[in-house]
Amino acid sequence: MLVETPKTLLINILLAEMPLNELNEMFLALAKRLYAYRKANNGFVPKEIFEACVGMSGMSVSVQIVNEVVDAKGMHIGYAMKQRDSSELGDAWACLYHSTCTTARLQDTPATMLGRDTKETFGVTKPEERLEYLGVTIHDEPERWSSCLTVMHRRMVATEEVSQFTGTWKIFSDNDIRYHNKEIIDHNWYLLEWVLDPDRPLFADVRGGWWHGKDRGEPRPE
């Protein structure tokens, strides 16, 4: 969380009063410096400015792997989600559950993004793992002043596997998704509503939720 100081207060006042087009030289200098830093640091920016960088981009790109849980007979149970650590970036989401995802970095490839996301679940990468590609979604992240374009994948896991995952995990039912369990980060409700739709389009706007027929302009069922 950003703490207001005399310095930040002065900066905010100056920026609020100056038209954006007159800040072009400052933005250009920042963009060049960020690009050089990312090139030299494997795509990273300092964590203190990560969320601000996401916000200025307007729309970030991420990869998400949904862990669908099945029983010994292969019957669907629900979805395993990981609890965000309180030390992670994003105070608004602290201690809430989500399907793990990773934000794209400058030098990323599909393999590095999927590997990084997989490591969040198992503690190691699994280069040979076969994941099901689901499609692409767009959701809002006002906490980061942006939207997110997310490339979605699915992994099928047995119930007993979840206890071996890295970190704190919990299995949520389909009704937890449909009725918006408050332990889950809100945009994950919408992403999983889309996953639950067998007729989901490959490219979907899930902002504000997803329901069967939304892409055809049909209202949300009561």
The pLDDT of residue 2? 55
Quickly state the pLDDT bin for 221 (edges 50, 70, 90). confident
Pairing outcome for strands 97-98 and 169-172: unpaired
Quickly state the pLDDT bin for 86 (edges 50, 70, 90). confident
Q: Which residues contact 24 (CB under 8 A, 6 or more apart)?
A: none
Mean pLDDT of the chain: 94
Tally Cβ neighbours within 10 Å of residue 183: 12
pLDDT in tens, 156-191: 999 999 999 999 999 999 999 999 999 999 999 999
Lowest mean pLDDT among 16-20, 28-32, 70-74, 129-133: 16-20
Residue 3 has pLDDT above 70, yes or no: no
Mean pLDDT value of segment 189-198: 98
The pLDDT of residue 13? 80
Give percent of the chain with pLDDT exceeding 90.
Answer: 83
What is the domain partition of the chain in residue ranges?
Answer: 6-40, 58-216
Residue 1 has pLDDT above 60, yes or no: no
Q: Which residues contact 124 (CB under 8 A, 6 or more apart)?
A: 118
Q: Which residues contact 71 (CB under 8 A, 6 or more apart)?
A: 77, 158, 159
* 11/113 Cα distance (integer angstroms): 35
Quickly state the pLDDT bin for 123 (edges 50, 70, 90). very high
Q: Which fold has domain 58-216?
A: Nucleoside Triphosphate Pyrophosphohydrolase (3.90.79)
Q: 3-state class of 70 per DSSP? A: strand
